[in-house]
């Protein structure tokens, strides 16, 4: 049996359809969370990069911190909403077409510590977000951390440099001392050898002289004996 709805019934049905609440919940994709550490007074980049192929023409980019909206990009126009970040935040406009929605925060304060969220949507692919946790440290903490990390690298340890310098000086000193000692030994040896040669030559000369003198006396005595016998 086919039931025919008259004009009055059709009008009532249309009204019911119009009055029904229609709720559309965009799909939300969470990327891997990111943690960034920055010192007070420094500048830091809060990263948000999509690997999807996105047409930024109709894209909406929304940055919030713990629920408070600080920046929104809509209809190709950036808008900074939060008073604490309006003059301390910038975006990489030329990088938007490369799916880089990161923001740069200048002059980090201790109050900036917390969780930031970067969400982009409007291209029909759902709402996708990346959570960025900013950890703020003091300058003194950064210096202490740097000092603790330096000893891991032996090239950066001052005691290693001092020890190396001392070893070099010791090696140089030992080398110079050995050279001087060698020179002295060789010099004394040469002098002794020269002196010995000189003394030998003198002794030979004296012996020769004595021999000559002795032979002369014998010749004289022989000659005298010869004359005496005659």
What's the Rg (C-alpha) of the chain? 52
**How far is the first Cα of the chain from the last one, in angstroms, to the nearest whole number?**
198
- Mean pLDDT throughout 56-71? 90
Give the model confidence (pLDDT) of 188-207 as tens digits: 454 555 555 555 566 555 54
Q: How far apart are CA 125 and CA 214, in angstroms?
A: 134
pLDDT at residue 49 greater than cutoff 70: yes
Asked whether 145 and 171 are in contact (CB, 8 A), the reply is no
Q: How many residues does the chain have?
A: 230
Q: Which residue has the tokens 């975006």?
A: 91
Nearest Cα residue to 35 out of 112, 131, 107? 131
Dihedral over Cα of 89, 93, 97, 98: its sign: negative
- Percent composition of the chain: helix, strand, coil (DSSP 3-state, to 5): 50, 25, 25
More confident position, 105 or 218? 105
Between CA 80 and CA 64, with CA 114 as vertex, the angle to 5 degrees is: 30
At 37, the pLDDT band (50, 70, 90 cuts) reads very high
């Amino acid at each position: 049996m086919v039931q025919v709805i008259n004009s009055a019934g059709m009008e009532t049905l249309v009204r019911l359809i119009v009055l029904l609440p229609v709720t559309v919940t965009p799909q939300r994709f969470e990327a891997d969370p990111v943690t960034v550490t920055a010192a007070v007074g420094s500048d830091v980049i809060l990263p948000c990069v999509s690997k999807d192929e996105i047409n930024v023409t109709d894209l909406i980019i929304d940055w919030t911190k713990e629920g408070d909206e600080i920046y929104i990009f809509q209809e190709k126009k950036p808008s900074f909403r939060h008073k604490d970040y309006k003059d301390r935040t910038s975006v990489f406009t030329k990088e938007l077409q490369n799916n880089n929605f990161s923001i740069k925060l200048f002059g980090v304060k201790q109050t900036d510590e917390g969780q930031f969220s970067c969400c982009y949507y409007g291209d029909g692919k759902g709402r996708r977000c990346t959570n960025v946790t900013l950890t703020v440290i003091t300058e003194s903490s950064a210096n202490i951390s740097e000092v603790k990390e330096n000893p891991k690298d032996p090239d950066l340890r001052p005691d290693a440099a001092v020890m190396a310098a001392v070893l070099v000086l010791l090696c140089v000193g030992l080398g110079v001392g050995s050279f001087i000692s060698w020179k002295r030994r060789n010099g004394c040896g040469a002098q002794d050898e020269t002196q010995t040669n000189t003394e030998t030559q003198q002794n030979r000369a004296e012996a020769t002289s004595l021999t000559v003198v002795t032979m002369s006396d014998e010749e004289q005595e022989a000659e005298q004996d010869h004359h005496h016998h005659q």
